Amino acid sequence: MDGRKNNGGHSTKGFAGRKAKADEIELIEKLTPLHDLAMDALKKGLENGQYQYVQLYMSYYYGKPKETKDVTVNRDLPLFID
């Protein structure tokens, strides 16, 4: 044996990847009663130019937007150079 299991790496048994759907639903259920209050605070905050205190609520309730990047290649590059 080469002893790889003793090298202190991360265990992925049940901890890797996306959280369970039940956890997400539970979080949304906890935030739902605060929705009207958050919308009122967002309206008042935007009128005053301050939105940061509601930003966290919105990111948990609606999720963060997906980030996209446009990549443009101007010339062809060889994959392998002799």
pLDDT for position 32: 86
List the domain boundaries for the chain: 18-62
Q: Please, which contacts does 13-21 make with residues 24 or more away whose CB atoms are closer than 8 Å?
A: none
Sign of CA dihedral 35, 40, 45, 47: positive
pLDDT digits (tens, 9 = 90+) for 37-60: 888 887 888 788 777 777 777 787
Q: Report how far residue 80's alpha carbon sits from residue 69's, in angstroms, rounded to the nearest whole number.
A: 26
pLDDT digits (tens, 9 = 90+) for 68-78: 888 877 777 77
80 DSSP 8-state letter:
S
The two structure tokens encoding residue 75: 């010339």
